Amino acid sequence: MSDPVLAPAVGRSDRRRWIALVVVCFAMLMNALDGSIVNVALPEIQRDLHFTQPDLAWVVDGYLISFGSFLLLAGRLGDLVGRKKVFLTGIALFTVASALCAASPNQGTLIAARFVQGLGGAVSSSVIIAIIVTEFPNPAERAKAMSAYMMVAVGGGSLGLLAGGVLTQVVSWHWIFLINVPIGVVTFALGVVLIEENVGLGLEGGLDVTGSLLVTAAMLIGIYGVVTAATHGWASAHTLGFSAVAVVLLAGFFVVEAVRSNPIMPLRILRLRSLVGSSIVRGCLFIGLQVLFFIGALYLQLARGYDPVHTGLAFLPTTVIVAVMSMGLTSRLLLRFGPLPLLLPGLLMAMVGLLLLVRVDEHSSYATGMLPAFLLIAVGISCATVPLLSVAMADVPAADAGLASAVVNVSIWLSSAVGLAVVSSLAASRTKSLERHGHSAVSATVSGYHLGYLIGAGCVALGILTFLALLLGPTRAMSPAAIRRAKAASASTLTPRPRAELDLDAGSSVEAGSSVEAVVLEP
């Protein structure tokens, strides 16, 4: 019989955890929206604040550089001083910076505020996955929570295009930043009450200042070189010089971490094949996703004449599919069959969807040309992202969850930023080459987009090969059937059992939330 005194307390704790999930998802939504919502408002910002074209790029680049540079440091600080403190600090920075962006009277203020906004986004998002992992130890609940997180992370990009178009056309560009302020205030207030603090490892041994400075400087300089490569050229002294400095600083960082007793990033984290392998696969997959959003939006606006609102609506089915599958279908399939039957088909569907877009030209219908590819990619992304997240965190010690969470975010962000910069540069080069050979502007532009889709599909194919080389064994071992066999073998060494009983165990089905399934997603 259940304890009548404990039951209400358990119910309140359960409600608190799910509301806390909504809180961290709100924070992730703000970060995801900000990655795309600004793009459709850039022409209005340029006219209003009198930006030149090169200076206008800093409205986007300032955010990207600071966001990518501080993810690892912020994630590790969550392990050391407490993830709740780090999360709330990031939300506060992001909210204040959003208000400054909305009120910016000139170019300098807007660019500086965007830099701070990126810092706040990095600090808050770096610990979100770690918070989810610790708040939801039960595998069935964790799978649902991770599905909700990935729905926001993936769907936020297309929602940002729609929201940015609507707000810019109906009100003004200031509202794409101002809308974050009430969301940020509510998220901060609820986070104070609902998120539980972890017991940090502490700073008794001192903070690894040298390692922190080296990794942050390496990320800052390297990312600056990447995001400005389109302006200066990939083979320019500017790009190669900054990239070389970043590599030297990163090498110095690894040397320091190898000898420190209290490293900011223990190198043992890089020996986790499931974390590193899934990060590579995820990075390849998200390059394809960024190619879809970026080149797809350009195609619809430049080749088909869509306005920002209709462009956002064109991507809405992608968001709807991701949302529908994240409402429980993906998590149930993951718990019943394990990650392998979802991951490989999901990656293949994403690759095929990108290849289908190569056939789309300036005369293609949206309904028959783009929509089927969009839906196929959406299903593939939904099938692959949550299992990848589960595989990544499967072997991570609880004390390193914040750092692992940051590694996951870095793999998504860095691959997206670098991949998109390379793809857009190569697509633009192909367009210019075709125009020089007499092709029409529209035809040359669409051919450049085709190259971008091919590169995106190639990156997903590389992810498939990485999965087969590094993750095939671990994902097979995480299947319910494999875990039942391992559990039966372990039990037989401890307590002799009849052969018939073991056979019964091996053939039985796995119910959602059972103790056997707890091993599937338990780090």
The tokens for 36 are 């795309």
pTM of the complete model beyond 0.85: no
- Residue 363, classed as helix, strand or coil, is coil
The number of beta carbons lying within 10 Å of the beta carbon of residue 334 is 29
Q: How many CB atoms lie within 10 A of CB 499?
A: 8
* 398 band by pLDDT with thresholds 50, 70 and 90: confident
**What confidence tens digit (pLDDT) does each residue in 433-475 have?**
888 888 888 888 889 899 999 999 999 999 999 999 988 887 8
What is the rounded radius of gyration, in angstroms, for the C-alpha atoms of the chain?
24
* DSSP notation for 140-180: HHHHHHHHHHHHHHHHHHHHHHHHHHHHHHHT-TTHHHHTH
Mean pLDDT for the stretch of residues 398-425: 79
Query: Residue 484's pLDDT is what?
Result: 66
Question: Would you say residue 499 has pLDDT above 60?
Answer: no
pLDDT of residue 205: 55
Separation in Å, CA 32 to CA 27, 388, 466:
9, 19, 26
Tell me which of 494 and 240 has the higher pLDDT: 240
Length of the chain: 523
The confidence band for 60, taking pLDDT boundaries of 50, 70 and 90, is confident
Q: What is the pLDDT of residue 7?
A: 44
Q: What DSSP character marks residue 302?
A: I
Residues 148-155: what's their mean pLDDT? 77
For range 142-165, the mean pLDDT: 76
Per-residue pLDDT at 50 exceeds 90: no
- Quote the tokens at residue 121: 């986004």
* CA nearest neighbour of 291 among 150, 445, 419: 419
pLDDT in tens, 295-348: 887 888 778 888 777 877 888 888 888 878 877 788 788 878 888 888 999 999
Q: What is the dihedral of CA 309, 311, 313, 315, to 10 degrees?
A: -150
The pLDDT score that the predictor gives to residue 521 is 39
CA distance 17 to 13: 6
Candidate ranges 209-218, 371-380, 475-484; pick with highest mean pLDDT: 371-380
Alpha helices (H) along 53-82: 53-69, 71-81
